[in-house]
Amino acid sequence: MACQAVLCQTIPWYLLVDPQPLSLRLYRLDGDNYVEQASARPGETLRFTAPIVTELDPASLGD
């Protein structure tokens, strides 16, 4: 996913929460593009150690 110049300078990571179907996707900046670092659907756990250490299950987000 290509990024715009301003975003590339200020947002090295972002978490995309997709409500339909429910999923989480963590993206990191790699050069001029964002690459998917991790993803999870309900019942799965999204685990990552950068930019912070955390674990998330999309099902925990509720309705």
**pLDDT tens-digit series, residues 20-62:** 889 999 999 998 889 999 999 999 999 988 888 989 898 888 6
- pTM recorded for the entire structure: 0.77
Domain hosting 23: range is 5-61
Give the model's pLDDT for residue 49. Answer: 86
**Count of domains observed in the chain:** 1
Strands (E), 1-63: 13-19, 22-30, 33-40, 46-48, 54-56
Three-state DSSP class for 6? helix
- Name the pLDDT band for 3 (thresholds 50, 70, 90): low
DSSP 2: B
Distance CA 58, CA 23 (A): 6
Give the model's pLDDT for residue 26. Answer: 94
- Name the pLDDT band for 8 (thresholds 50, 70, 90): low
Three-state DSSP class for 27? strand
